[in-house]
Amino acid sequence: MTLTERIQTDFKLYATQAEKDSFFEQRQQAFETFEKLGFPTTHNEEWKYTNMKAITAGAFENTCIPSTKNNNYQASVFSGIKANHLVFVNGSFNKDLSVFIEPDSAIIITNIAAARKQHADLFNKHFGKYAHTETVALNALNLALLSDGAFVYIPAGKKLQDPLVILNFIDSGDLNVWVQPRNLIIVDKGADITLVESYESRGEHPSYINVVSEIFVDENAHVEHYKVQQQTNESYHTNYTQFFQQSNTSINQVTLTLDGKMVRNNLHFYMNGTNCNDLLYGLHISEKQNLVDNHTRVDHAQPNCFSDEKYKGILKDQSVAVFNGKIMVHQDAQKTNAYQRNQNILLSDEASVYTKPQLEIFADDVKCTHGATIGQLDEEPMFYLRSRGIPENEARKMLLNAFADEISERIKIPELVTLLENEIEKKL
């Protein structure tokens, strides 16, 4: 059974069991949209270099059956840190592994399934309002067949004292697993949150995870957001993260792609208010024949907003990277300052990068720049280090750590910095 056939079968099964309410209607409409759009192909300019055939031809099982091998979670780099942990195993919320240490009872940290019933008004006000489904096929697929996910509400003026780690753990030891997690994060006026989305997998069988995260940031709020992917070389990952911001908000966002056979990151910021301040940083380390595709879009829709974006890649073997970053400055967005850079280091003659930084500007009083570089390690500093008696591998590692430092210094969680350093040590 192909994945498309599996999707049709799974939705029909869901439709026979679901309560016929507005939530069902929303999901049914999303299913019909996906049926019309279908999976993206390389004929689509946005997917020109990312082929999903290996996914669409796969015999995946859309399962929310929790794995019994929960001890694998203890190997997570985040399992030992002081934080709130919301854990999902094969798409199913795992209450036993989840830990909540936040003392403020006004802050809501739960799963989507519970939030629909316990916080219906808040859920219905925001769910599905920011991530487009009408034109984005994988968003429609996620809504139609969503498994579960995180629901977080930080009330006005509140601060989450310790980070929240949302861990999606995939165990494909017994079958080809695919899941559709969806997260809804609501950060009210003047609130503050540090959030980590972590995606980890174990098992020899292929797995596919398709994630949608909607993050609403109200006036004067601040968000620290980290996305970390540590999946196997048999894992496929697509995600769409949508930030919707009101005035005087600030976001520090870092994406780390450290493994996975095929990873497609879609990151969209929409500045719906004035004086927004956004930092977007990303780093991927690619090896073998793996592919990492980073697509970003920053919409400056209102005046006096700032964005600074830098994505870096380190590529080995026959790996492939794609970067497509668009800064859209709307007509009313005067006094915009927007910067974008993409830098890549190739450690192999067979690795390749396709990069396309873009500016679309419809206002006349702005400062915007973009650029991209692709190259190998600079021979001059390598020669200098070697001449001081430093072995070649050690010198290479020092230079690559220096290359990654501009990203790691944006990370405010020490365990995450250590993880990045260890990955560079292990792979390079």
- pLDDT tens-digit map of 196-209: 999 998 888 899 99
Alpha carbon distance 275, 377 (integer Å):
38
Residue 179 lies in a domain: yes
Alpha carbon distance 17, 1 (integer Å):
22
Residue 118's domain comprises 1-201
End-of-domain residue from the set 176, 201, 226: 201
Alpha carbon distance 428, 423 (integer Å):
8
Alpha carbon distance 410, 253 (integer Å):
9
pLDDT digit string (tens) for 312-329? 999 999 999 999 999 999
Residue 370 lies in a domain: no
Give me the number of domains the chain comprises.
Answer: 2
Residue 350 lies in a domain: no
Alpha carbon distance 427, 228 (integer Å):
16
Alpha carbon distance 1, 332 (integer Å):
50
Q: What's the pTM?
A: 0.95
Which residues, 6+ apart, have CB-to-CB distance to 292 below 8 Å?
257, 260, 263, 265, 284, 286, 313, 319, 320, 321, 322
Phi, psi of 96 (to 5 degrees): -65, -35
Strand partners, 240: 212, 266
End-of-domain residue from the set 165, 180, 201: 201
Q: Which residue has the tokens 């203890």?
A: 74
Residue 85 lies in a domain: yes
User: Tokens for 319?
Assistant: 């790996």
End-of-domain residue from the set 168, 201, 234: 201
Residue 39 lies in a domain: yes
Alpha carbon distance 2, 176 (integer Å):
12
Residue 153 lies in a domain: yes
Alpha carbon distance 154, 144 (integer Å):
27
Residue 282 lies in a domain: no
Which residues, 6+ apart, have CB-to-CB distance to 173 below 8 Å?
67, 69, 202, 203, 204, 205
Residue 303 lies in a domain: no
Alpha carbon distance 362, 366 (integer Å):
10
Q: pLDDT tens, position by position, for the chain (428 residues)?
A: 778 888 999 899 889 888 888 899 999 999 999 999 999 999 999 999 999 999 998 778 766 554 444 555 555 667 778 999 999 999 999 999 999 999 899 999 999 999 999 999 999 999 999 999 999 999 999 999 998 999 999 999 999 999 999 999 998 877 888 999 999 999 999 999 999 999 998 888 899 999 999 999 999 999 999 999 999 889 999 999 999 999 999 999 999 999 999 999 999 999 999 999 999 999 999 999 999 999 999 999 999 999 999 999 999 999 999 999 999 999 999 999 999 999 999 999 999 999 999 999 999 999 999 999 999 988 888 888 889 889 888 898 889 999 999 999 999 999 899 888 888 888 87
